[in-house]
Amino acid sequence: MMEHNEVPEDNASHSVDMWSRTIVALMIGILIGAVVSLTGLTTLADYLMPLIIGFVVFVLFMAGLSFILVQNKEKVLHKLFGVKNTDLSDVKDNALHLFINSWKKEFPAAKKNFNALFTKILAWYAWMSFRRWILLVFQMLFIGFGGVLGTMLLYNQNKLLTQQNLLLQSQNYRLDQQTYLQEADRRSSLIFLMGNLLDAMDRELKSDVGQPGVRDLSPQIIGRVVALSKSLRPYRYLESDSLVARELSPERGQLLVSIVNSQIDNSSLRRIFQFSDFSFADLKGVVLSGEFLSGINLRRADLANATLDETDLSRADLSGADLSQAVLARANLREARFRQSIMINAYLESADLTQASFYEAKMRSANLAGAMLRQTHFTKADLSAANLFGTTVLRTGFDEAILDSVQVNSYEWLAKLPTTGQDSIRGMNYLISNYKVDSVRTNLRVQYLLLKKGKE
C-alpha cells in the first residue's frame, strides 16, 4: 500500500518541479525579450562579444564557486548545520533511539536524538537542493545563451540578406537608369533629325516660300514637325544623378520653344498645334510670354514656374499638366482644359477663363483676382485659400469644389451670386449649404473669406 501511495506523491512532486522550472525559464525569457525590445537587436549585436565574455566569466565564477563549496563541503556543513557529512547511515539509529527514549519518557535524550536526526536530514536536503540548483543554473545558462546566440546568428543572417536586397535594389535601379539612358541615346538620332528640320524651316522662312511677306510654312515642313513631335516620346532621364519622378520629353519642349521663337505666322502655328503632340513636354521655367499656343496639346506637361502671361492658350489641352507657381496673368484661357492639373500658387490675375474646365484641378492658393469666370467649370476642384477677389462669376460651376478660406469681394458675395436666369451659378445649393462668408481684419484692410460651415 505504501508503494502505491508514494507513486502519486512522487508524480505530484515531479510535476511541481517541472512547473517551477518552466516558470523560471519563462521569466528569464520575458526579461531577455524586454531588454531586446528596449535596446534593439542592433545594440545587442554591437555588444555580442562583451556578452560572450561576460557569460564565460560568469560561468567560470559559478564553476569556481561550486568547486570551492564541494571541496569544503565538511566545513560548510559544520558551519551551517554542525555536521560534517550528509551520510544518512546513522539516521536509522537516531530514529530508533528517538522512539525508544520517547517511549521511556527520557525526554532530554529524545530531544538530543531529535535534533541530531533533524539536523542530519536538513543538511542532506540542503546539500541535495544545492546540487540540483547548480545543475539547473548551468543548464538554463547554456540553453539560454544558446538561444541568444542562435537569435543573433539569425539576426545577422537577416541583416546580411537585407543588405543584399538593398544592393540588389540599387543594382536594379542602376539597370533602370541604364535602360533609360539607352533610350536617351536612341533619342540622339532624333535630335539630329530635329536639327535638320529646324535648318530646313529656317531656310524656308528666309526664302519666303509661301505667301509673300508672311512667315508661313509649307505643308511638307508642317508634316515633318508633326511626325517628329510624335516620335519624341517621353521617358525618364537622369537629373542630379537620379531619375526624374515621371516620364517627360525634354526634346518636345525644345522643339516647341524653337518653333515659337521662330516668329512663325499664327496660321502655320495653328496647323502645327492642331496635329502635333507636345504632351509630357519638359517646359519647367520656360518663358513664353505673349506667344500663340492656341489649341496645343500639353497634356501632363511640366510647366512649373513657367512664365505665360498674356499667352494665347485658348482651346489648349493642359489636362494633368503641372503649372505650379506658373504665371498666367492676362492669359487667354478660353475653352482650355485643365482637368486634374496641378496649379498650386499659380498666378492667373485678370486671365480670361471663359468656358475653361478645371475639373478636379489642384488650385490651392491660386490667384484669380480680376479673372473672367464665365461658364468656367470648377467641379471637384481644390480652390482652398485661392483669391477670387474682383472676379466676374457668371454661369460658373462650383459643384463639390473645395472653397475653404477662399478670398472674395464682400460679406454679401454669396448672396450677390446670380441664382436665376441664364447667368445662374451651377452648384449654388452646394455653396449655400456648405460655406459662409466671414471677415478677417489684416494690417491693410478687412478680408472676406469663405469658410466651411461648422468650422471655427
Integer Cα distance of 397 and 51 in angstroms: 71
Q: Are strands 446-452 and 242-243 parallel, antiparallel or unpaired?
A: unpaired
Per-residue pLDDT tens digits for 352-408? 999 999 999 999 999 999 999 999 999 999 999 999 999 999 999 999 999 999 999
Helices within 208-249 (DSSP H only): 219-231
Q: Considering its fold, how many domains does the chain have in total?
A: 2
Per-residue pLDDT tens digits for 188-207? 667 888 889 999 999 998 88
308 domain-assigned: no
Residue type, 51: L
Whether 21 and 167 share a structural domain:
yes
What's residue 402's pLDDT?
A: 96
93 domain-assigned: yes
Residue 166 corresponds to which cell in the numbers above?
538593398
Integer Cα distance of 51 and 30 in angstroms: 18
83 domain-assigned: yes
What mean pLDDT, rounded, does the chain reach? 83
298 domain-assigned: no
What's residue 366's pLDDT?
A: 98
Q: DSSP of 123-185, one letter per residue?
A: HHHHHHHHHHHHHHHHHHHHHHHHHHHHHHHHHHHHHHHHHHHHHHHHHHHHHHHHHHHHHHH
115 domain-assigned: yes
Range 25-41 average pLDDT: 62
**Residue where a domain terminates, one of 122, 145, 171:** 171
pLDDT grade for 3, boundaries at 50, 70 and 90: very low
State yes or no: pLDDT of 2 exceeds 50: no
Element (H, E) at 113: helix 107-207
Residue type, 136: L
Residue 383 corresponds to which cell in the numbers above?
480652390
Residue 231 corresponds to which cell in the numbers above?
516620335
What's residue 167's pLDDT?
A: 84
Whether 146 and 228 share a structural domain:
no
State yes or no: pLDDT of 166 exceeds 80: yes
Contact 278, 296 (CB under 8 A): yes
**Residue where a domain terminates, one of 282, 317, 345:** 282
What's residue 6's pLDDT?
A: 46
Whether 140 and 258 share a structural domain:
no
Residues constituting the chain: 456
121 domain-assigned: yes
What's residue 292's pLDDT?
A: 97
315 domain-assigned: no
Range 123-135 average pLDDT: 75
Whether 247 and 155 share a structural domain:
no
Determine how many CB atoms are found less than 10 A away from the CB of residue 135.
Answer: 11
Whether 150 and 219 share a structural domain:
no
Q: Which domain holds residue 43?
A: 17-171
Per-residue pLDDT tens digits for 413-426? 998 898 877 778 98
Whether 237 and 131 share a structural domain:
no
What's residue 1's pLDDT?
A: 43
Which of 89-93, 248-252, 298-302, 329-333 has the weakest average pLDDT?
A: 89-93
**Residue where a domain terminates, one of 220, 251, 282:** 282
What's residue 121's pLDDT?
A: 75
Contact 437, 448 (CB under 8 A): yes
216 domain-assigned: yes
Whether 116 and 216 share a structural domain:
no
Whether 23 and 164 share a structural domain:
yes
Whether 159 and 214 share a structural domain:
no
Closest CA to 225 of 263, 189, 276, 191: 276
Residue type, 137: V
Whether 167 and 21 share a structural domain:
yes
Residue 221 corresponds to which cell in the numbers above?
515642313
Whether 257 and 212 share a structural domain:
yes
Whether 26 and 130 share a structural domain:
yes
What's residue 300's pLDDT?
A: 97
